[in-house]
């Protein structure tokens, strides 16, 4: 009778394991409403855009012609563009491992017992990607985002993702002659690239191990009965480079309301760099997910 009950516990426990059996929520607050989830995504996208916009605007403000005579106020940078790639990965995994040990009625010197156990593992992964393309000439005409538009949250919602520091250091190296300034953004290879990548990896793990000691057996005295893991990876890649003149699209000018033709993609070298970063992030997440117990 006790052995049958132990077996039933193993089967039922395997059926009720739920973590990793549904599409993960992108927010930490699982009870958030639909509007709150939408606002969360909008906040991330706005913060990333403001990071790029503020960095470009500030770069031009701090490099007037009076202190930048060789590049004439970043003339070569005027013709460049920027590709923003944001990848949000949420991986949830649940493991159920009930165990039992039955000691049947027997003489005191008997060494026989019956152990039973089962392991059920479930995993669900969600990958969301957002991409945006801007011209530096468009961004430099804007103002820095109002402080209230920048978030003060953790991780990718930080108000400063250090892009400006990287751009400023790069421009100084060009001004000093350590790195040659691009002379022709329409060159055959368009090989100049500036890239900035920020990655956050947040892992939460919880375990539960209730145990019982019975007259003729014990339940869950070894190992972990239930464990759940939630892994969130936020990967942002910002790639600057000359645009590819072969790729263009019509857009609506926000000022005049008229259609105009503008570049729509980075040149080969910058585009390949952005793609390589995106592929690398996907491979890293897949390897980590496979290696996680």
Contacts 24+ apart (CB under 8 A), 212-220: 214/2, 216/2, 216/102, 216/103, 216/104, 216/105, 217/2, 217/3, 217/6, 217/100, 217/101, 217/102, 217/103, 218/100, 218/101, 219/6, 219/9, 219/98, 219/99, 219/100, 219/101, 220/98, 220/99, 220/100
pLDDT for residue 56: 93
Mean pLDDT of 101-119: 71
* Tokens encoding 9: 């516990």
Mean pLDDT of 89-106: 81
Phi then psi for 147, rounded to 5 degrees?
-55, -35
pLDDT for residue 77: 85
Task: Please say if the pLDDT value at position 153 is more than 70.
Answer: yes
Task: Please say if the pLDDT value at position 170 is more than 90.
Answer: no
pLDDT for residue 247: 82
Collapsing DSSP to helix, strand or coil, 99 comes out as strand
Sequence-separated (6 or more) residues with CB below 8 Å from residue 257: none
pLDDT for residue 19: 61
pLDDT for residue 82: 93
Phi then psi for 129, rounded to 5 degrees?
-125, 140
Query: Given pLDDT bands bounded at 50, 70 and 90, which one contains residue 65?
Result: low
Task: Please say if the pLDDT value at position 75 is more than 60.
Answer: yes
In whole angstroms, give the CA distance from residue 161 to residue 53. Answer: 12
Higher-confidence residue of 293 and 231: namely 231
pLDDT in tens, 186-241: 554 456 788 899 998 888 888 888 877 777 777 877 778 888 888 888 899 999 98
Task: Please say if the pLDDT value at position 120 is more than 60.
Answer: yes
Helix (H) or strand (E) holding 2: helix 2-16
Task: Please say if the pLDDT value at position 123 is more than 60.
Answer: yes
Task: Please say if the pLDDT value at position 44 is more than 60.
Answer: yes
* Tokens encoding 130: 């957002």
Task: Please say if the pLDDT value at position 173 is more than 70.
Answer: yes
Higher-confidence residue of 122 and 252: namely 122
pLDDT for residue 282: 77
Best-predicted range by mean pLDDT (8-17, 62-71, 81-90):
81-90
Computed over every residue of the chain, the mean pLDDT equals 78
* Tokens encoding 272: 């390949």
């Amino acid at each position: 009778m006790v052995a049958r009950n132990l077996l039933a516990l193993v089967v039922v426990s395997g059926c009720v394991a739920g973590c990793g059996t549904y599409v993960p929520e992108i927010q930490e607050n699982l009870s958030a409403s639909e509007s709150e989830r939408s606002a969360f995504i909008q906040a991330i996208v706005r913060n990333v855009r403001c990071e790029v916009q503020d960095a470009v605007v500030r770069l031009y403000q701090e490099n007037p012609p009076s202190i930048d005579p060789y590049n004439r106020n970043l003339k070569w940078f005027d013709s460049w563009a920027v590709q923003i790639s944001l990848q949000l990965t949420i991986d949830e995994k649940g493991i159920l491992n009930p165990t039992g040990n039955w000691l049947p009625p027997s003489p005191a010197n008997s060494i026989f017992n019956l152990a039973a156990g089962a392991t059920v593992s479930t995993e669900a992964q969600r990958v969301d990607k957002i991409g945006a393309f801007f011209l530096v000439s468009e961004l430099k005409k804007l103002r820095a985002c109002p402080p209230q538009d920048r978030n003060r949250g953790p991780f990718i919602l930080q108000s400063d993702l250090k892009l400006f520091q990287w751009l400023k250091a790069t421009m100084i190296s060009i001004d000093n002659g350590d790195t040659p300034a691009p002379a022709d953004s329409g060159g055959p290879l368009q090989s100049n690239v500036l890239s900035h990548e920020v990655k956050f990896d947040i892992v939460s793990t919880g375990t539960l191990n209730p145990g019982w000691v019975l007259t003729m057996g014990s339940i869950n005295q070894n190992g972990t009965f239930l464990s759940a893991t939630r892994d969130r990876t936020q990967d942002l890649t910002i790639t600057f480079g000359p645009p590819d003149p072969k790729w263009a699209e019509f857009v609506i000018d926000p000022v005049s309301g008229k259609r105009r033709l503008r570049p729509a993609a980075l040149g080969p070298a910058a585009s390949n760099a952005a793609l390589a970063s995106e592929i690398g992030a996907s491979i890293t997440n897949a390897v980590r997910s496979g290696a996680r117990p």
